[in-house]
């Protein structure tokens, strides 16, 4: 949201107002405290500067049902402040751990250089742009659509559950169960330290990133990793349309079970188990396992640039895998 503010002294409005280009007059409130429930309910065209939403009154829903709101250097220490809002901008705003469920059911949100420290800080919102912000919020971003994060540090569990149309760049993330059931996402230049990430996701691309964690991306569809480092046990099982392009895999034992995979890996893979179909190209596979009780035949093409001794494959003589054919 861009206001292009004209200086107060050039406005034909009251002392505490400014006009944004486009003819919208916005009232300025500076240095005030709002402790009560619905203190600014249904506010419109409002700039809040150095204000505090705090107090013994413990009021909630301060700016519910508001529109065209900008907050600068404000302190938010009360629950549910920004619900059912339209066109909200937060600049250098601190939302404490007591500011629970801060932004729900709101659209067209811009947040920069802020802190979001309360549980469930963002839910069921659309068109959200967050930059240079610290986020420490379990269950962040559930059922959101059209969220862009740039230069953010995030700590959360169940991050972006059931969200769609995400773009993350230069994000450092720590937490379990992230990006589950996500659809249509792009992640670049990021570090994800997680567990059970990307389960059941669809149409996701991760590029130039580090992804660390156990049981990565089971049951995913059309998931692509490009120039990534993937770390952790039992990754990428039961996948459809899985692609790895120029990736590294470290400590990734029992990879690709029952997956349809097209993988071009730099270096080796600790072990691969029961790959269903596709092609795996790498320097070597430490152990290739095709069990006799597997559900599907191992029809995946294996291409090792510097193969280890096939005796380590673990294949059954009666049911050799592609590597041993």
Query: What's the pLDDT score for residue 16?
Result: 60
Tell me: pLDDT of 316 over 50.
no
CB neighbourhood size of 33 (10 A): 12
Split at pLDDT 50, 70, 90, the class of 22 is: low
Query: What's the pLDDT score for residue 56?
Result: 95
Q: Residues 6 or more apart from 6 whose CB is under 8 A from it?
A: 18, 19, 20, 21
Cα–Cα–Cα angle for 278, 281, 282, rounded to 5 degrees: 145
Distance CA 211, CA 294 (A): 28
| Local structure of 9: helix, strand or coil | helix
Please classify residue 117 by burial: count the beta carbons closer than 10 Å to its beta carbon, then call 0-12 exposed, 13-18 middle and 19+ buried.
buried
Query: What's the pLDDT score for residue 11?
Result: 32
How many percent of the chain have pLDDT more than 70?
Answer: 87
Q: pTM of the prediction?
A: 0.88
Query: What's the pLDDT score for residue 20?
Result: 54
Tens of pLDDT, residues 289-313: 999 899 988 899 999 988 875 434 4
Distance CA 10, CA 218 (A): 60
Please classify residue 10 by burial: count the beta carbons closer than 10 Å to its beta carbon, then call 0-12 exposed, 13-18 middle and 19+ buried.
exposed
Q: What average pLDDT does the segment 207-234 reach? A: 98
Q: What average pLDDT does the segment 241-262 reach? A: 98
Q: What average pLDDT does the segment 182-205 reach? A: 98
Query: What's the pLDDT score for residue 308?
Result: 72
Query: What's the pLDDT score for residue 320?
Result: 45
Query: What's the pLDDT score for residue 311?
Result: 39
Q: Please, what sign has the CA dihedral across residues 302, 304, 305, 311?
A: negative
């Amino acid at each position: 949201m861009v206001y292009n503010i004209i200086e107060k002294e050039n406005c034909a409005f009251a002392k505490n107002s400014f006009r944004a280009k486009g003819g919208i007059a916005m009232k300025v409130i500076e240095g005030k405290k709002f402790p009560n429930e619905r203190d600014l309910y249904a506010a419109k065209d409002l700039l809040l500067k150095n204000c505090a939403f705090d107090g013994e009154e413990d009021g909630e829903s301060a700016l519910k049902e508001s529109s065209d709101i900008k907050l600068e250097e404000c302190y938010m220490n009360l629950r549910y402040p920004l619900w059912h809002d339209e066109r909200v901008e937060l600049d250098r705003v601190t939302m404490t751990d007591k500011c629970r469920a801060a932004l729900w059911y709101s659209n067209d949100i811009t947040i920069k250089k802020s802190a979001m420290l309360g549980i469930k800080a963002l839910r069921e919102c659309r068109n959200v742009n967050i930059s240079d912000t610290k986020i420490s919020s379990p269950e962040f971003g559930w059922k959101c659509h059209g969220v862009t994060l740039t230069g953010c540090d995030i700590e959360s569990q169940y991050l972006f559950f059931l969200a769609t149309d995400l773009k993350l760049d230069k994000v450092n993330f720590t937490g379990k169960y992230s990006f589950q059931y996500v659809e249509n996402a792009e992640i670049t230049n990021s570090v994800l330290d997680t567990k059970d990430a990307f389960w059941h996701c669809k149409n996701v691309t991760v590029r130039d990133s580090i992804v660390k964690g156990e049981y990565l991306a089971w049951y995913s569809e059309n998931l692509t990793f490009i120039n990534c480092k993937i770390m952790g046990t039992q990754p990428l099982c039961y996948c459809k349309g899985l692609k790895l392009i120029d990736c590294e895999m470290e400590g990734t034992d029992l990879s690709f079970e029952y997956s349809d995979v097209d993988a071009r890996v730099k270096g080796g893979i600790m072990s691969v188990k029961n790959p269903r179909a596709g092609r795996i190209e790498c320097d070597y596979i430490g152990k290739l396992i095709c069990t006799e009780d597997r559900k599907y035949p191992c029809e995946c093409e294996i291409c090792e640039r510097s193969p280890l001794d096939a005796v380590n494959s673990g294949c059954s003589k009666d049911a050799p895998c592609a590597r041993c054919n």
